[in-house]
Amino acid sequence: MQLFIEIIKALIIGIIEGLTEWLPISSTGHMIIVNEFVQLDVSPAFLALFLVVIQLGAILAVLLLYFQRLNPFSKKKTVKEQRTVLRLWLKVVVGCLPAAVIGLLFDDWVEEHFFNAFVVAVALIVYGIAFIVVERLQQAHEKPRPLRRSRYDQRDQDELDQLTWTQVLVIGCCQCLAIVPGTSRSGSTILGARILGVSRQAAAEYSFFLAIPVMFGWSLLKAIKTLMLDQLVVTANEWIILLVGVLVAFLVSVVAIRFLMGFIQKHDFQAFGWYRIALGLLVIVYFLISGGLFS
């Protein structure tokens, strides 16, 4: 019975991870609320491992949905198309460099000083306002685009190929802002791309692709450190819990990515901005009542 209860908790956390990792609404903001009501009965070391490793499930969803698009060695592609994909991967790697450097240098310090409900709430609200303002400003300059026939739109491929190295570095620097809890990794990169005038579809897809090396690398390093260096002993039940979390995060991520790409064909990101503001206010009210706003 106890294992069944923990599996249900892992399922809930996996759902939240799968949804919030790709929608620009902050996975941390949601996790801090969920943690008040759903807490795995495991050691702190395993919990830290669990919360990072389930991101692998989310990443696998991107690789599944965009495998053909991201595969530079596909025989279905011409030599020119293969070179375009290789160039895209290079831009992804370059875009990840700022986040890798900042993350390694300041991740522990930021977590120690800024990981509280107040910072998360402020970040949710500030980024929510930013999304609304940026989208309204962009509407005055953008021309409506015809609806896409599929996720794999050649227009987005061309637009990503046309990103300059300066734009790539700027978006990569925006991704660094995600080190602050509540900002959202996808939210930071999408917002940065939109400020530069990148279309909603291309901005979202580039955000997905940037996540692959960042999240995969971080999950792998965390697993190696915890299992090998810290020599954490994982029980059979904990392996089951971890597997459930990864699998659910993967399945929900597939749905979330498809939903987002379909949604932004007809709508902009303002709805997510308003949602962030509402969630930020909810976090403030809840933790003011509970007395844990600054802890």
Structure tokens given for 58: 């989310």
Q: Is residue 287 classed as helix, strand or coil in its secondary structure? A: helix
**pLDDT, mean of residues 31-41:** 85
Percent of the chain with pLDDT over 70: 93
- 143 pLDDT band, cuts 50/70/90, is low
Of the listed ranges 61-70, 148-157, 216-225, 262-271, the least confidently predicted one is: 148-157
| Residue 4, token pair as written in the block | 């069944």
Q: How far is CA 156 from the centre of its chain?
A: 20
Q: Could you read off the pLDDT of 214-252 as tens digits, one per residue?
A: 888 877 777 787 777 677 888 899 999 999 999 999 999
- Confidence grade of residue 155 (pLDDT, cut at 50, 70, 90): low
Long-range CB contacts for residues 37-43, cutoff 8 Å, separation at least 24? 38/9, 38/12, 38/13, 39/9, 40/6, 40/9, 40/10, 40/13, 40/241, 41/2, 41/5, 41/6, 42/6, 42/238, 42/241, 43/232
* Contact status, residue 119 vs residue 24, Cβ threshold 8 Å: no
Structure confidence at residue 2 (pLDDT): 85
